[in-house]
A and B are shown apart, each in its own frame.
Chain A
Amino acid sequence: MAGWVSPGVEQPIAFPHKTHIALKVPCTGCHQQAEKGSAAGRPPTALCAACHAASDTKDPEIAKLKAYAEKGEEIPWRRVWRLPSHVFFPHRIHVAIAKISCQTCHGPMENLDRPPPRPLKILTMSDCIACHTERKLATDRAAGAKLSKVRAQQLSSDCIVCHR
C-alpha cells in the first residue's frame, strides 16, 4: 500500500481545479492524454499558456506559470497518483470507451482550490474487481445475449489483463 501514497506532495504552483471546472473546462480539456494513451499525464505548459497568455492578472500563481512559459520550461509538477508497477491501467479504455467519470477513481477533484497533497481516494484491487463485476452484470442484463465478445472480455476479471 505504501506505493500508493506519497505524503504531503507540494506542487510548484497552487493550481485550483475548482476554478477551472467552474469555467466549464472538462478534465480531458487539459489532461488530454487520458483519452489517447495509457497514462493521463499532466498538461504541457504551452496548453496552460494558450489560455493564460492574454490575461494581465496580478495573481502571483499565474505569474509563476507565465514565467515558466516564457522560459519555455515545463512546470515541474510532482506526481501524486502512482500505480504499483505490477498493475497495468490504461486510461484510454476507461475514459474514452467505458466513459467512467474521472471522479470514480480520483475522488472529488472538482472541489479542490489547491493541489491535493495526497490522493483523495485510496484504491485497492477489490475496488477494480467490484466495478468490473458490477458493470459486467449490468451490461449482460442490458445486452442480453448480444453482448459482443470484445466487451465481455474487456470487463473480465482475468488476472493477466492487469498483471502482465
Chain B
Amino acid sequence: MALWGMVIDLDRCTGCQACVMACKAENNIPAVGMKEAHKERVISWMQVLTETGEDQHGAKMRFIPRPCLQCDDPPCTKVCPVYATYRNPEGIVAQIYARCIGCRFCMAACPYNAKYFNWHTYQKEAPGQNPDVSLREKGVVEKCTFCHHRLQRARERASAEKREFDPAEYVPACAEACPAQAIVFGDLSDPASEVAKLAHSPRAFRLLEELGTKPKVFYLTEGEAGG
C-alpha cells in the first residue's frame, strides 16, 4: 500500500503563490469575499506562511507553503464524533462533507490550522468549476486531500488501458504548478522514490515534530545561501 507524501524545498520556494492559486482552481475553493475575510474566514487549503527574518532586521522573508500535512497520527480524526474525518489506508486524511456536522472539533485539534469552516454557502455550481470535486455546503469543514481525485483519475486511466498504475502519474495541483519545482510528491513507502530519499535527507524536518503527529509533508531547511 502506498503512503503518499510530499517534500517542500524551502530553498527553492520563492513565495510566488502559484501553488495556492492552482489549489484553489483545482479544488473549487470559494472566494469568501471581503467582509468574511476581515473575520479571518478565508479558505485556502494551501497557504504560504511568511516569516520575517529577525536577525536581518526584516530584510529577509521566509516562505513556508503549508498544505494539510496529512499527519500519519492525525489529531483531527480522533476528535471527530461522527467519523467524518479519517486517515485512509494510503495515509490521506479524508474529510467526508456529507457526513460532517460542522462541530469544528477537528479544527480545534489541528495544530497547523489546516482545516477550514464554511460559514456560509460561498458558491453555487458555475462553469469553470472542477467536476471531480464537490462544492462544499454551509456548515461543513473542508481541507486539502492531496488532490485525491487525481489519484483516482490516474488509477482509472491505468485500468482502462489495462496496465499497472505508475505512482508518477499522480501529482497534486500544487506540485504540478510550482515553477521552482520546490514541491516533490510521491510514495514514501517506496525507498527508491525521490520523495522518500529527500524525506531522509539531513535537511529534512517537519512542522511541530515534537507533537508526534508524524506529518507526511516534509520540509528541507534553507541552506546557507541566505546567510
- Residues from chain B with Cβ under 8 Å of A164 in the complex: 132-134, 145, 148-149, 152
Instruction: Let me know if A56 is at the binding interface, CB within 8 A.
Output: no
Whether A38 contacts B131 by the Cβ 8 Å rule is yes
* Bound Cα distance from A161 to B86, whole angstroms: 13
Choose from A86, A92, A97 the contact partner of B97 (Cβ within 8 Å).
A86
* Given known A86-B134, A160-B148, A164-B132, contact A150–B89 (CB-CB < 8 A): no
* Bound Cα distance from A61 to B134, whole angstroms: 39
Interface string of B72-109 (1 = CB under 8 A from A): 00000000000000101110101011110000000000
* Bound Cα distance from A98 to B160, whole angstroms: 10
* Bound Cα distance from A29 to B92, whole angstroms: 39
Tell me, rounded to whole Å, the shortest Cβ–Cβ distance linking A6 to chain B: 18
Interface string of A7-29 (1 = CB under 8 A from B): 00000000000000000000000
* Bound Cα distance from A96 to B155, whole angstroms: 14
In the complex, how many residues of chain A place their beta carbon closer than 8 angstroms to a beta carbon of chain B? Answer: 23
* Bound Cα distance from A154 to B157, whole angstroms: 12
Whether B96 contacts A153 by the Cβ 8 Å rule is no
* Given known A38-B131, A164-B132, contact A158–B97 (CB-CB < 8 A): no
- Residues from chain A with Cβ under 8 Å of B88 in the complex: 158-160
* Bound Cα distance from A148 to B159, whole angstroms: 10
Tell me, rounded to whole Å, the shortest Cβ–Cβ distance linking A135 to chain B: 14
Instruction: Let me know if A163 is at the binding interface, CB within 8 A.
Output: yes
In the complex, how many residues of chain B place their beta carbon closer than 8 angstroms to a beta carbon of chain A? Answer: 27
Instruction: Let me know if B164 is at the binding interface, CB within 8 A.
Output: yes
Whether B155 contacts A92 by the Cβ 8 Å rule is no
Chain B contact surface mostly: loop
- Residues from chain B with Cβ under 8 Å of A148 in the complex: 164
Interface string of A118-149 (1 = CB under 8 A from B): 00000000000000000000000000000011
Q: List B residues at the A interface (Cβ < 8 Å).
A: 1, 86, 88-90, 92, 94, 96-99, 131-135, 145, 148-149, 152, 155-156, 158-160, 164-165
Task: Name 30 interchain pairs, CB-CB below 8 A, sorted by A.
Answer: A85-B134, A85-B135, A86-B134, A92-B156, A92-B160, A93-B156, A97-B156, A97-B159, A97-B160, A149-B164, A149-B165, A150-B155, A150-B158, A150-B159, A150-B165, A151-B159, A154-B156, A156-B89, A158-B89, A159-B86, A159-B88, A160-B92, A160-B94, A161-B152, A163-B97, A163-B98, A164-B132, A164-B134, A164-B145, A164-B148
Given contact pairs A97-B159, A163-B97, a sample of 14 additional A-B residue pairs in the complex whose CB atoms are under 8 Å apart: A84-B98, A86-B134, A92-B156, A93-B159, A93-B160, A96-B160, A97-B156, A97-B160, A150-B165, A153-B90, A153-B155, A154-B155, A160-B94, A164-B149
